[in-house]
Amino acid sequence: MAVKIRLARRGRKKAAQFDIVVADSRSPRDGRFIEKIGTYNPNTNPASINFDSEKAFDWIMKGAQPTDTVRAMLSYRGVLYRKHLQLGVIKGAISQDVADQRFTDWKEQKDAKIETKRSSLGTAKEETRKQQLAAETKVREARAEAIRLKNTPAAAPAAEEGETADAATADATTEEAGA
């Protein structure tokens, strides 16, 4: 029986989520499976990949073949690197302690890289939000200035007419007083 590690789709339309399952290659995509080992949600940034790496490693060592997408996920989480190191131990090229140390070092570096990406995405998102807010503020101020200028010239001629009328009244008053 050919065993595959693959994705089984679930979730609603245009909001897919996937289960990472071990299944017979002859069974349908969303059909019968041997074991569910995790979940994958591509809708988040970065994508959420949650699976039991021990179970995945056991199935890989037993000969289960991952699909291309699942292979990328297993590689991303270090399961395939761990298999590579374990094969070296089986062949006698390195000891188990050395393999475990190499995997631990790799895992720490990878986790640091992932955390850096998450934090940079968060800061980039915040920076974009601040820039959009600043742009909106400039537009709002420009509109307010345009409205002020629109209303000010209309008020200025009226004020000038009022000043002219006041001046004419003052001249008439002066003439009456002088006459």
Among 32, 66, 29, smallest CA distance to 51 is for 66
User: Which has the minimum average pLDDT: 26-30, 91-95, 169-173?
Assistant: 169-173
Report the amino acid identity of residue 172. A
- When the pLDDT of each residue in the chain is averaged and rounded to a whole number, the result is 84
List C-alpha distances in Å: 67 to 81, 99, 124.
Answer: 17, 26, 33
Q: Which two tokens stand for residue 112?
A: 């640091």
Torsion 115-116-118-123 (CA) sign: positive
Greater model confidence, 118 or 157: 118
Q: Which pLDDT score, from 0 to 100, does residue 70 have?
A: 93
Q: What does pTM read for this prediction? A: 0.62
For 30-77, write each residue's pLDDT tens digit.
888 899 999 999 998 778 889 898 999 999 999 999 999 999 999 988
